[in-house]
Amino acid sequence: MDDEPSLMRPKVGLQPVILAVVAVIVYLGLPILGGEPPRPQGHFPKLARAFLHGELSVSFAPGSVSPQGELIPAGEPGRFYCPYPPLPAVLLMPFAWIGSGGLRVEVACRWVSTINVLLFYFCLSGLPRKLDRPPLSGLARWALTVLFAFGMATWPSAAMGGDWHLAHALALGAMLLALLEFLGRNRPVVVGAFAAMAILSRPTTALTCLFFVFPLLGRRHLKALRRLSICPVIAILLLALYNVARFGSPVDFGYSDMLLTGEGGRLMETYGQFHAAFVPRNLFWYFIAPPVVRPDHAFPWLGFDPRGLSLFIATPALIYCFVGAWRQWRRPIVRHAAFAIGLCLVPLLLYFNTGYWQFGHRFSMDYLPMLLVLVVSGMGPRPGRAVLALIGVSVAVQAWGVLMDSVAGMPASWVPGV
């Protein structure tokens, strides 16, 4: 815990209300106004109803599984396990109990994404103090929150609104809650509880959440470390028990038996879920992949491959993470953020799937709060014209990806082979 007083009470004025309204309009209103076509309900609501009946598997009518995909046969005809961690389904259980249809995945994802915008805004109150800086100006908080909401993977993830996107949004929200507590009262048990929620939504965030552990290790606050670890350890044990109940092993998430087709099926069969052969491929799709010229040469002329688009092309303003790491490396919070990102990237780079279907690098949401710590440290308390310009370009690029049908395949010769 901090030696200095750390109680932080963000002032609640008109800014967060306006940001929340804009987020609701963009995240929930635009799909409605754009005539979003009907989509399958998603697996999480079905899993929530299964949990209410004391079951761990979901049922599908014959012939309906293939279009859904990403399911694991449960050994009984018509019954399947979901590969996803359980917390999103647990949180949907009250809605499943109220009505047979439950809360649709895309609606839940968009509401959670709206809440995340507010959580990030409030995190900006305490972050400058950790960086030994004056408070951010009103313009800086506006600009950074707009960047978070509409200039990075948070917007296309909310727009796509699938099962994985809901898991990403919940994990991101839990990490932001942990960060908000860390920047304020910094109670280890509370930080650990929110970190546990992130782990139960996206297990890879366990590595990102080491960000909260590093300060305690450095200061040898063993009592606080034990208190912080209680809930994450319980979360990991619950995931292990969940896997044992389904597959007989605490470390088996069932991916080897998942119903996969196409490239994903080939890679899983050849290399398994994690393999060093995937690293060059994932590095390309995460950080290098450029847009490509559309085959029909129609406006806006450039398209993106749904296997990925460079994180720094999709969000040019993130270049400031390198500025922050370079200029502020002496700050422990900057070093800890960089280490946490690096650790989280290890399993992501070894993973058989790039994140398809996506605009940009959706797995970046697993370490986004720590990435934004670096960005804020690089931008400074009062944004200049270059900062505002890059934020504007980032929002424009995301709008292109979300609002325009600009999908185009990457030439095979550009892509590292596996």
Q: What is the pLDDT of residues 97-124, one digit of tens each?
A: 987 667 899 999 999 999 999 999 999 9
| Backbone phi, psi, residue 351, to 5° | -80, 150
Does the pLDDT at position 309 exceed 90?
yes
Residue 7 belongs to some domain of the structure: no
Same domain, 109 and 212: yes
Same domain, 291 and 386: yes
pLDDT of residue 138: 93
pLDDT of residue 35: 85
Same domain, 353 and 321: yes
**Contact yes or no for 347/274 (Cβ under 8 A):** yes
Token pair 């424009």: residue = 396
Does the pLDDT at position 65 exceed 90?
no
Same domain, 298 and 379: yes
Q: What is the pLDDT of residues 317-342, one digit of tens each?
A: 999 999 999 999 999 999 999 999 99
Any residues with CB less than 8 A from the CB of 41 and at least 6 apart, and which?
101, 102, 104, 105
Higher pLDDT, 63 or 77: 77
Rounded to the nearest 5 degrees, what angle is found at the Cα of 28, between the Cα atoms of 355 and 24?
Answer: 110
Q: Based on the structure, what is the number of domains in the chain?
A: 2
Does the pLDDT at position 63 exceed 70?
no
Same domain, 86 and 171: no
Same domain, 215 and 356: yes
Does the pLDDT at position 92 exceed 90?
yes
Residue type, 54: G
Res. 36 pLDDT band, cuts 50 70 90: confident
Q: Minimal CA–CA distance to 340: which of 227, 240, 215?
A: 215
Same domain, 173 and 289: yes
Same domain, 137 and 47: no
**Burial profile 164-174: b = 16 or more Cβ within 10 angstroms, e = fewer:** bbbbbbbbbbb
**Contact yes or no for 309/360 (Cβ under 8 A):** yes
Residue 95 belongs to some domain of the structure: yes
d(CA 107, CA 104) in angstroms, rounded, equals: 5
Q: Minimal CA–CA distance to 109: which of 173, 47, 188?
A: 173
Weakest mean pLDDT among 94-108, 145-159, 276-290, 351-365: 94-108
Higher pLDDT, 354 or 13: 354
pLDDT of residue 269: 92
- Distance of alpha carbon 320 from its chain centroid, rounded? 20
Same domain, 131 and 99: no
**Contact yes or no for 324/387 (Cβ under 8 A):** no
Same domain, 83 and 19: no
pLDDT of residue 206: 98
Residue 1 belongs to some domain of the structure: no
Tell me how long the chain is: 418
pLDDT of residue 281: 97
User: What pTM was estimated for this model as a whole?
Assistant: 0.95
Q: What is the pLDDT of residues 377-393, one digit of tens each?
A: 999 889 999 999 999 99
**Dihedral of the alpha carbons of 405, 69, 112, 228, in degrees to the nearest 10:** -130
**Contact yes or no for 125/10 (Cβ under 8 A):** yes
Does the pLDDT at position 9 exceed 80?
no
Residue 8 belongs to some domain of the structure: no
Higher pLDDT, 173 or 75: 173
pLDDT of residue 103: 86
Does the pLDDT at position 13 exceed 80?
no
φ/ψ bin of 290: left (φ > 0), alpha (ψ from -120 to 50), beta (otherwise): beta
Q: Minimal CA–CA distance to 353: which of 260, 291, 415?
A: 260
pLDDT of residue 141: 96
pLDDT of residue 100: 63
Res. 11 pLDDT band, cuts 50 70 90: low
H helices present in 202-221, as ranges: 205-208, 214-219
Same domain, 325 and 394: yes
Q: Minimal CA–CA distance to 224: which of 232, 211, 215?
A: 215
Same domain, 344 and 263: yes
Range of the domain at 253: 14-39+105-414
